[in-house]
Amino acid sequence: MLQPICAALALLTLTTPLLHAQQDESEEIPTEERTEPPRRHVDPEIRLALDWLRRHQRPDGLWAPIEEPACGDATCNLGDTERSVLELSALATSAILSDRIRDEPLFRRTLERASRALLRELEAVPTPRDRGDRAGHFFALLALLDLAEITNRESLRVELEPLLAAVDQQHVERLNANELYAWITLRWVREMVRPQDRRPWERDEIHAAEALLAASPEDLDLLALVALTRIFAGETPRSSARLEELAESIGDERCPLLEREAPRTLDATLLRGFVAFQLGGHAFPPWKQARQMPLRASQTREGCARGAWIFGPSGGDTSPQVLESTVLATMILQVYYCYC
């Protein structure tokens, strides 16, 4: 049986409402001085990472690389990123939402600021075509859908109605790989939490993913995208010969296809992990061993950057920006995360 990804687990199994704290910002307790005992269900590396995100949220509720981080440590701003402020902020919000740490007062305030900021950004430019940042737009809608479901906030659901209607005419054949990944994830979660929005997938997304793979048939990340698109469309290895073919090669016990070569980026690592987890069987353990375990050992443990991931350049590439690498590394560790 195919299992839902971590965001969906949070949506379906964690329904404790968020109580929005009204404490003044000056009353915030530094992480190092907390007296509350650690919660058994919070992974220690994930707790450190989410606390780093909380401490580096901008006053306006968004997340973005800035020349002078609030903590004053330039280490927290190393590297470069091509992701927009909206996309980084949406992903950071989703990472916090996917963990029960969100119920703690400091993180409730963080999420309240983030939700107001994301909603403000989407209302200012309600259509992804006009924004020119489709992935960021889709991820922001996804984060707000998650928040509305987890907190059971009817007011937020109402505010999302026109924003969701504005993306209903999206032409998926015009999306690149990252945009298509954001779109299928948004659509899958949307139809899960809003049954009234369900409609036949009509195979448009599948055709778009297969077209991307046909243009680069050796790209394992595009192969993973095809598999995930078919899974989200409701296919299983038993019902789809194509997905059965992909599942057998991806989960080959002797040589798992997705581990034939290392992913080039952290978001590729995350995509492959989602697919391996969804397919189950022999696909997931090799990915977990190769991709999750090294991250636990490479997390920064000292200074203002405590909890972040700081990676050097790979080959001739530039270093990934600390905010981006920390968000993605956290989400990688949250794949198959225990919410007990």
Q: Kindly state the average pLDDT of the residues 219-243.
A: 92
Question: Which string of DSSP letters, residue by residue, matches 241-294?
Answer: HHHHHHHHHHT-SSS-GGGSS--SSHHHHHHHHHHHHHH-TTSHHHHIIIIIHH
pLDDT at 338 over 50: no
Q: What pLDDT was estimated at residue 328?
A: 95
Q: Kindly state the average pLDDT of the residues 139-162.
A: 95
The Cα–Cα gap between 108 and 20 comes to 6
For residue range 163-205, list pLDDT tens digits in order: 999 998 788 888 999 999 999 999 999 999 999 888 887 778 9
pLDDT at 2 over 60: no
The number of CA neighbours under 13 Å toward the Cβ of 276 is 29
Q: Kindly state the average pLDDT of the residues 309-335.
A: 83
Q: What pLDDT was estimated at residue 78?
A: 79
Q: What pLDDT was estimated at residue 238?
A: 87
Q: What pLDDT was estimated at residue 34?
A: 40
The Cα–Cα gap between 227 and 159 comes to 33
Q: Kindly state the average pLDDT of the residues 101-125.
A: 96
Q: Which two tokens stand for residue 67?
A: 């020349």
Q: What pLDDT was estimated at residue 260?
A: 80
Helix axes 177-193, 204-215, angle to 10 degrees: 160
For residue range 9-39, list pLDDT tens digits in order: 333 333 333 223 333 333 333 343 343 333 4
Question: Which string of DSSP letters, residue by residue, matches 23-69?
Answer: --GGGPPPGGG--SPPPTTS-HHHHHHHHHHHHT--TTS-----SS-
Q: What pLDDT was estimated at residue 68?
A: 60
Q: What pLDDT was estimated at residue 72?
A: 66
Q: What pLDDT was estimated at residue 113?
A: 97
The 3 state secondary structure assigned to 63-79 is CCCCCCCCCCCHHHHCC
Q: What pLDDT was estimated at residue 254?
A: 65
Residue 140's CB is within 10 A of a number of other CB atoms, namely: 30
pTM of the entire predicted model: 0.84
pLDDT at 278 over 60: yes
Which one is predicted more confidently, 249 or 242? 242
Q: What pLDDT was estimated at residue 70?
A: 63
Share of the chain above pLDDT 70, in %: 81
For residue range 327-336, list pLDDT tens digits in order: 999 999 999 7
Of 63-77, 87-101, 102-116, where does mean pLDDT reach its minimum?
Answer: 63-77
Of the spans 50-54, 74-78, 164-168, 252-256, which averages the highest pLDDT? Answer: 50-54
Mean pLDDT over each residue of the chain, to the nearest integer = 82
Q: What pLDDT was estimated at residue 36?
A: 38
Of 38-42, 104-108, 228-232, 246-250, where does mean pLDDT reach its minimum?
Answer: 38-42
For residue range 39-61, list pLDDT tens digits in order: 444 589 999 999 999 999 999 99
State the amino acid at position 11 in one-letter form.
L
Q: Kindly state the average pLDDT of the residues 235-261.
A: 82
pLDDT at 287 over 60: yes
Where do the domains of the chain lie?
45-199+303-311+319-340, 207-298
Q: What pLDDT was estimated at residue 219?
A: 92
State the amino acid at position 166 in one-letter form.
A
The number of CA neighbours under 13 Å toward the Cβ of 128 is 25
Of 72-81, 120-129, 257-266, where does mean pLDDT reach its minimum?
Answer: 72-81
* pLDDT band at 124; cut points 50, 70, 90: very high
